[in-house]
Structure 1
Amino acid sequence: MEMPVVEVRKHGVWLLAKNVDQYIHRLLVEEDANNSHETNGELFHASSEAGKKLYRMGDFADSQIANIDVYLLKKVGLFPDVLERKIMRHFEEGDDVSALVTGEFYTKKDLFPGFGRPFVFNAEVLLKVGRNSEAKDAARVALKSPWWTLGCKYEEVARIAQWEDEQIEYIKERVTEEGRNEDLKKGKAPAQVALDEAAFLLDLASVEGTWADSLERIAECYKEAGLNDIARFILYND
């Protein structure tokens, strides 16, 4: 299974690339495009044979593509930040139709599965052109994803979705002992109850920006679900 590369931020994670190779490929292109004498190709040399399989130094210049974002999308892969810049450029050029089309494309379920960010940005795009009802729907779709994948504060998305705090209160109830017992009484498997609690805790941590406060309990949940390797990984501290 391919592992996405993410950056941890206060209110969640930001998707940098869909896999490690794609991320390395992008870094090598950017280093080459910047033609930095300071780095002297340090990343390319550090990547060794793996880097040579992904990119040949000079390919960006040889392509005669003037814009590095265009090169990345054509030759490397799709990246959230690059797509978002592309959409904003369409707006700057007065091309609202292309911005809307690209915003809709960004939300295709097979592009960035599991991440709510594309729907958040699409909601913002729709708001920008006055399509408030559609923006509300897009924001509500985003909030069905883990809140730590929204790429911004939960409150910003909830405002577009026209949600109050009832969802937060509901989740707070689910992680109580009473909430767990209620799920067990309904016949839900203990392992699934533990996994649900871990997911709820992650959502709450993204709202409050308090990851460290929840780590131990989240790790315990994964242990209860029999996922000991994930529990150890969560608690790992270099």
Structure 2
Amino acid sequence: MSAVFRSLRLLPTPSSFSSSLILPVSYRTRAFGKPNRSLRWSETTLGKSDLFVSKRARCSGGGARSADVRCVAPKDGRVVGVPDARYTGIECLLMMFLRDHFSFIEDVAAARAPESLNHLLNMLQARGEALISPAAKEGLIPLVIPLSENPSGKLTSLLRWPTSPPGMEMPVVEVHKHGVWLLAKSVDQYIHRMLVEEDANVENTSKLWDASAEAGQKLYKKADLSESGIADLDIYLLKKVGLFPDVIERKISRHLETGDQVSAMITGEFYTKQHFPGFGRPFAFNAQILLKVGRNLEAKDAARGALKSPWWTLGFKYQDVADIAEWEDEQIEYIKEKITEEGRMEDLKKGKAPEQAALDEAAFLMDLASIDGSWNEVVDRIAECYMEAGLHDIAKFIAFRE
């Protein structure tokens, strides 16, 4: 009966809604029950982040009973409808089981929702992305909370770490088949960057500014980019907003394009200095740079360092990094052996705590799944591992199905 949705779109904010609340949302859902086709349906909206929302509506349709209208019917394949009040006759209770991002993060992911999340959602939609259900995790790495999908099909999401590194409680990521790519360390940092880039765009409109509302006013003063005297957008971002993997990588690539290998290697080394804890991408990228400039031995060491991080954070296919590291299949076979019952019992006999053995198995399963993106095959066992380790909240989040 759960009416979880894949696609939704925001509506204009009525003045009756506090700016601290998420904008009303029009959801596209699955219907439950059999629709009464004689009824008329009209658009309805959601306001605050309630996990389950009960809407009381009046309906009509030739003596319709409440059982006849226990459904949510799409109008023009676009929005959710309730019986239009103009065609009232019998009062009925229409239960709409709708989850929004705030309630999902707090009630399912058992985490604190970023304060500016509603503004980010508005901005993502303003730049042409379609908001999607936070529960639409089928086939994805199980640690993400989807936010939106861009026209090319890439998902912008939040990453819900089992145990987050300092300063990376809920980073913004782009989801790929083999894992995630870090977009920003936080929601606020990503909003800040979006506003600066919009300010740099000669064709900028007021859409993103309007969508950012008070969050945007707090984070960025319009025209500060031009007033700063910094001509290079990337330099402004690094100096005034924060460090971003793609900006640093672009800086390294430009050094190589101009033949400045020394600056490229220095910047590559800087990239790996724990600016992005928990992510293997800086080491993997640095390995590729070192390989390009003929530092093969250093490239191998960097690649092996990258593979000490979760493989789903590499930002490359596992095999691309393993080739530089000169790893054969023995590492994969070793991990596969460790997650067998015999391998686990051997660890326990050596004194490893059962909780740690469960956490290690979960990490190994994530690594293996990242190789070919076979997340659905391991998600249940990963959830069981976290449950065995005593991390019940993360276990329930990972096991959640829409």
User: What TM-score does the superposition give when structure 2 sets the normalisation length?
Assistant: 0.56
Say what the alpha-carbon RMSD is for the aligned residues.
1.5
Cα distance in 2 for partners of 1:29, 1:213 equals 41
Per residue, is there more helix in 1 or in 2?
1
Q: Is 1:29 aligned to residue 196 of structure 2?
A: yes
The 5 A counterparts of 1:24-63 are 24-37=191-204, 40-63=205-228
CA shift digits 1:51-95 (9 cap, x unpaired): 211111211222232221111111100000100000000111111
CA shift digits 1:193-225 (9 cap, x unpaired): 111110000000111211122111111111111
Number of residue pairs matched by the alignment: 235
Question: 1:205 matched to which residue of 2?
Answer: 369
The 5 A counterparts of 1:168-207 are 168-207=332-371
Partner of 1:25, secondary structure, is: helix
Higher gyration radius (CA): 2
Cα distance in 1 for partners of 2:296, 2:335 equals 27
Partner of 1:8, secondary structure, is: strand
Question: 2:281 matched to which residue of 1?
Answer: 117
Cα distance in 2 for partners of 1:119, 1:96 equals 17
* Distance apart, 1:36 and its partner CA: 3.6
Q: Is 1:71 aligned to residue 236 of structure 2?
A: yes
Aligned structure 1 segments of 4 or more residues deviating by more than 6 angstroms = none
The question of whether the paired residues in 2 share the 8 Å contact of 1:31 and 1:41 is answered with no
Cα distance in 2 for partners of 1:234, 1:55 equals 35
- Give the letter aligned to residue 3 of structure 1: M
- Give the letter aligned to residue 98 of structure 1: S
Q: Which runs of 5+ in 1 are unaligned?
A: none
* Distance apart, 1:35 and its partner CA: 4.1
Question: 1:14 matched to which residue of 2?
Answer: 181
Question: 2:311 matched to which residue of 1?
Answer: 147
- Give the letter aligned to residue 154 of structure 1: Y
User: What TM-score does the superposition give when structure 1 sets the normalisation length?
Assistant: 0.93
Cα distance in 1 for partners of 2:310, 2:386 equals 17
Partner of 1:15, secondary structure, is: strand
Cα distance in 2 for partners of 1:56, 1:168 equals 50
Q: Which moved more, 1:158-167 or 1:52-61?
A: 52-61
Question: 1:5 matched to which residue of 2?
Answer: 172
* Distance apart, 1:23 and its partner CA: 1.2
* Distance apart, 1:98 and its partner CA: 0.7
Partner of 1:218, secondary structure, is: helix
Q: Is 1:235 aligned to residue 235 of structure 2?
A: no
Cα distance in 2 for partners of 1:27, 1:233 equals 29
Per residue, is there more strand in 1 or in 2?
2
Q: Which runs of 5+ in 2 are unaligned?
A: 1-165
- Give the letter aligned to residue 245 of structure 2: P
Partner of 2:328, secondary structure, is: coil
Partner of 1:7, secondary structure, is: strand
Identical residues among aligned pairs (%): 73
The question of whether the paired residues in 2 share the 8 Å contact of 1:201 and 1:214 is answered with yes
